[in-house]
Amino acid sequence: MTYYEHPFKSNSQHKTIQYIYESIDPSIAIDTVSTIETIFNDDVITFNVQHGDITKGIKWTWASSLSTLHYFETFFKSVDLETTLRKISPYKFTIRGASFITLNKSCVENSDFHYDAVSHHDTPDTNILTIIFPLYDIDTDVGHLNYMENNTQNVYTYTKNKIIVWDSCKFLHKTQPYNVNKNVKRVLVSINLSTDYDWAKYTINRSLQSQGNKLWID
The HSE-up count of residue 150 (CA atoms within 13 Å, CB side) is 0
Q: Is residue 215 part of a domain?
A: no
153-183 pLDDT per residue, tens: 999 999 999 999 999 999 999 999 898 888 7
Count the Cβ atoms, other than its own, within 10 Å of residue 13. 17
What residue numbers bound the domain in which 9 lies? 4-210
Chain CA centroid to CA 57, Å: 16
Specify which residues 210 forms β-bridges with: none
Burial of 25: CB neighbours in 10 Å, binned 0-12, 13-18, 19+? middle
Q: Is residue 218 part of a domain?
A: no
Which residues lie below 8 Å from residue 1, measured CB to CB, with a gap of 6+?
A: 88, 126, 166, 167, 170, 171
24-46 pLDDT per residue, tens: 999 999 989 999 999 998 999 99
Low-confidence ranges of the chain (pLDDT < 70): 1
Please state the domain count of the chain: 1
User: Residue 202: what pLDDT?
Assistant: 98
Q: What is the CATH number of the domain that holds 175?
A: 2.60.120.620
What distances in angstroms separate CA 186 from CA 42, 89, 206, one per listed residue?
29, 30, 26
- CA dist 95 and 87 (Å) reads 18
Q: Is residue 66 part of a domain?
A: yes
User: Residue 84: what pLDDT?
Assistant: 95
Specify which residues 132 forms β-bridges with: 164, 190
Region of 80 please: left (phi>0), alpha (psi -120 to 50) or beta: left
User: Residue 1: what pLDDT?
Assistant: 63
Contact by Cβ (8 Å): 184, 142: yes
User: Residue 56: what pLDDT?
Assistant: 78
Q: Which 8-state DSSP code applies to residue 111?
A: B
Q: Is residue 71 part of a domain?
A: yes
Q: Is 13 helix (H, G, I), strand (E, B) or coil?
A: helix
* Whether the model pTM is above 0.85: yes
